[in-house]
Amino acid sequence: MAMAAKRVAATAWTVIEGGLAAEPVSVDALSEHDALSQSGMRPAIRFDDELEPSARPAGLSSTRPSYIGPVPTLPTLATVDCFGVGVASATFEQVRTWFYGAVAKRDVAPRAMFFANAHTMNLAWRDECFRDVLNRADVVLNDGVGLDIYGKLAGRRFVENLNGTDLLPRLFAAADATSPLRVYLYGAAPGRAAKAARNIEARFPNVKVVGVTHGFERGSAVVEEINEACADVVLVGMGNPVQERWIDENKVLLDVGVVAGVGALLDFFSGEVPRAPAWVRAARCEWIYRLGCEPTRLFERYVLGNPAFLARALAYLGLGIRPRLST
């Protein structure tokens, strides 16, 4: 097959939680297409112009799965004011009820789910427009020890640490075998989302990954890919604030239940980026592990950013100093 000799020259986006950085990569179009076809997913790869349209992957059926049982009422989650952003304080059970209720309840635009850590809130402190994006989400969950400290300072402790890297696997494990959860992965460098998809399906039998698109694709074609795949949930992994802005701008165009900004989750699921050992995570020191793995990239975020977040927390809570306003 002529396509076998073709290789796709692309510029991949290396996913970082503070944005996107370009680096050249080369992706074998045929191998990725075959791997995805075997699992029933629709790959989204940018092909060279000389490829015939017929060589592009075929679309999926637009038949949306039916849901069993009554549609639940979404719970209202209590929030903690963090720099003017309402961050939910909830248990896993409350979030699970909200999540699967949103998957089944399709009467409005998709529910947006974001995660806020110290870095996210530093960005929000400096950018009023980003604060507005976060506040337009249906739920913002606390991520990491920085938010825990903030909650204690505010006298409103967060019930659980609900970081996305641990929460999404727990939600996937709760999927019902009678109505498998249909998930679309959007983000990470070319090839990583496909690897993540295979690992997710192997680990969670009640989750079906119905499509992937790597993180540098943009435009209406991405929305069309997602809608044609009939996903229940879209995971967008581009780092903040890029992923949150994309969700805020495009969620009204999506026919899904939940769209979530998940940072580096797809990289972790792919196996290309290791997580800290379990005992390091239990000690709430994964940020130190990540800093040790990537000191140059993460120095500003952690070594400078964490003290800045704590100083801003004290200023906001103790002195009444408010975040920057747009001019």
Give the pLDDT confidence of 49-75 residue by residue, as tens digits: 332 333 333 333 344 554 445 556 788
Indicate whether 91 pLDDT > 80: yes
Q: What is the pLDDT, as a whole number, of residue 79? A: 96
Indicate whether 172 pLDDT > 90: yes
- Could you give the CA distance from residue 12 to residue 45 in angstroms, rounded to a whole number? 11
Q: Show the tokens assigned to 214.
A: 């790597």
Q: What is the pLDDT, as a whole number, of residue 182? A: 98
**Residues 146-158, mean pLDDT to the nearest whole number:** 95
- Could you give the CA distance from residue 240 to residue 20 in angstroms, rounded to a whole number? 9
Quote the mean pLDDT of the chain. Answer: 82
Q: What is the pLDDT, as a whole number, of residue 326? A: 73
Query: For the purposes of burial, counting CB atoms within 10 Å of the CB of 177, is it exposed (0-12), middle (13-18) or buried (19 or more)?
Result: exposed
Indicate whether 265 pLDDT > 90: yes
Distance of CA 305 to the CA centre of its chain: 21
Q: What is the pLDDT, as a whole number, of residue 327? A: 58
Residue 314's pLDDT band (boundaries 50, 70, 90)?
very high
Q: Which residue has the higher pLDDT, 62 or 298?
A: 298
The Cβ-side half-sphere exposure at 308, using a 13 Å CA radius, reads 18
Indicate whether 92 pLDDT > 70: yes
Q: What is the pLDDT, as a whole number, of residue 70? A: 57
22: helix, strand or coil: strand
- Could you give the CA distance from residue 15 to residue 90 in angstroms, rounded to a whole number? 28
- Could you give the CA distance from residue 158 to residue 181 in angstroms, rounded to a whole number? 28
Least confident of 93-97, 106-110, 172-176, 252-256: 106-110
- Could you give the CA distance from residue 13 to residue 150 in angstroms, rounded to a whole number? 32
Residue 253's pLDDT band (boundaries 50, 70, 90)?
very high
Residue 22's pLDDT band (boundaries 50, 70, 90)?
very low
**Residues 178-192, mean pLDDT to the nearest whole number:** 95
75: helix, strand or coil: coil
Pairing of strands 79-82, 85-88: antiparallel
